[in-house]
């Protein structure tokens, strides 16, 4: 069962009737800092792109970027924000309504899969354990050799229903270890900026490890 009930799509569609708490009008600073230290390569999949600010920021960096979210209202707003960007940015950006629980199964396009990078700004922490297991297993197939996954997720679980579940540093290190086919390049505490208050988070970058390399 999803932490957001039997119909998470309806739950999030209702959230996007107004400004979502995590919609700060820009890419998360913790991810931007990580990109500066460990530059991503294209093509990029923004998994659960929401209203598109991270996907736009990646396209501004010169990377062909596909943003996918299962909430149509979020993609509509993302398209509105994309429309006011420069022509060069718009040409590097595609936005689509879809399910990213299985990123390797996204309909192939000129920009993947496979992807050079998958970015996740607040998607993984929405999943329960079985969905996390399935996502990580499928994620490796979505990436090109030496492709990277960038993660920013809440490191705490708040009391009450319909809230993200904490992603701890220990969990990240366990899921993205060498035995599972990964090289963890970065994993550290961070803050997730929101319109309400900053939330303790974990920021990480894991690279697909190819054993023959």
pTM for the whole thing? 0.93
Q: Give the CA distances from residue 194 to residues 14, 22, 47, 56, 124, in Å, rounded to whole numbers and listed in that order.
A: 18, 5, 18, 18, 17
- For the chain, 213 residues long, give each residue's pLDDT as a single digit of tens: 466 666 677 777 777 788 888 889 999 999 999 999 999 999 999 999 999 999 999 999 999 999 999 999 999 999 999 999 999 999 999 999 999 999 999 887 777 789 999 999 999 999 999 999 999 999 999 999 999 999 999 999 887 667 789 999 999 999 999 999 999 999 999 999 999 899 999 999 999 998 654
Peptide bond into 36 cis (omega under 30): no
Q: What pLDDT, on a 0 to 100 scale, did the predictor assign at position 112?
A: 79
Q: Which fold has domain 8-208?
A: Rossmann fold (3.40.50)
């Amino acid at each position: 069962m999803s932490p957001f009930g039997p119909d998470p799509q309806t739950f999030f569609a209702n959230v996007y009737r107004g400004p979502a708490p995590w919609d700060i009008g820009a890419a998360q600073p913790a991810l931007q800092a990580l990109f500066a230290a460990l530059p991503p390569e294209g093509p990029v999949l923004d998994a659960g792109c929401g209203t598109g600010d991270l996907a736009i920021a990646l396209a501004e960096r010169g990377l062909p970027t596909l943003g996918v979210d299962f909430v149509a209202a979020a993609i509509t707003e993302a398209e509105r924000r994309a429309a006011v960007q420069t022509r060069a940015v718009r040409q590097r950006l595609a936005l689509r309504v879809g399910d990213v629980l299985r990123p390797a199964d996204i309909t192939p396009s000129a920009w993947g899969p496979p992807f050079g990078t998958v970015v996740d700004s607040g998607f993984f922490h929405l999943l329960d354990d079985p969905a996390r297991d399935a996502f990580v297993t499928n994620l490796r197939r979505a990436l090109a050799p030496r492709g990277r996954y960038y993660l920013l997720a809440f490191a705490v679980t708040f009391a009450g229903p319909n809230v993200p579940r904490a992603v701890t540093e220990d969990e990240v290190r366990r899921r993205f270890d060498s035995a599972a086919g990964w090289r963890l390049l970065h994993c550290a505490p961070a803050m997730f900026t929101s319109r309400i208050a900053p939330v303790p988070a974990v920021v990480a970058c894991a690279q697909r490890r190819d054993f023959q390399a």
